[in-house]
Structure formats: structure tokens, C-alpha cells
Amino acid sequence: MDTEAFYEQVFEVVRLIPRGRVTSYGAVAKALGAPNYSRMVGRAMQFAGKAKPPVPWYRLVNSSGTLSARDQSGSAHRMQELLENEGIEIKNDRIVNFKKLFWDPLIEI
């Protein structure tokens, strides 16, 4: 498969994330059968902003539940607001209770 198709697969999985839940780059990559493609998942997110239909990119965090993502402004503050709007608490750029809010795509796919 080419990289473009991989990005589409990433968007597909991200769109499956339930409201108020989050997942990690590695988890998505692994769900697509490419455990070493975590960085490519992040690269795909650069296209998420202009993808149609839009993908909830802000529900993707790193393996520690940290808001490693950034919006066009270069900060993760907007991401935090979006997450809090869904009932997720953020403390020091980390998702509170991340272990329980974590959604494993492998369970759904």
C-alpha cells in the first residue's frame, strides 16, 4: 500500500474514536498492522485539518497521554479546550485519568 492510502486508514480509525475518549499514535499504527509507523500517523495528522470529512485529530495523543499535537498557531491550548469540551480533563498538557479514557482501536477493528 502507498503512504497516501495509509493516511486514509489513519483518518478512518481516528474518526471511529468515541466522543470523550482518546487514543495514541502507536495504537492507531498498530491497529493498521504497522507498529513502527507511529511517526507516519503524526505526519498524516498534518493533512487531517483539510481532510473531508474532518477528523477529530485532537483525540490523538502520545503513549503517555501528553498533548504532543499542536494546532496551526503552534500551541496545544485549543486542543485542550476541545478535549475539555468533551469531558476530558487536562492537567499540565497531560490527560487526567488517561488510562481509563484510552480507547484501543484494536478492540473495535
Closest distance to DNA from the beta carbon of 11 (Å)? 11
C-alpha cell at 46: 498534518
CA dihedral 96, 99, 102, 108 (to 10 degrees): -160
b/e per residue 66-76 (b: at least 16 CB within 10 A)? bbbbeeeeeeb
45 lines the binding site for DNA (CB under 7 A): yes
Binding residue for DNA (CB under 7 A) from 9, 31, 57, 80? 57
Closest distance to DNA from the beta carbon of 20 (Å)? 18
80 lines the binding site for DNA (CB under 7 A): no
75 lines the binding site for DNA (CB under 7 A): no
25 lines the binding site for DNA (CB under 7 A): yes
Residue 33 Cα to chain centre, angstroms: 17
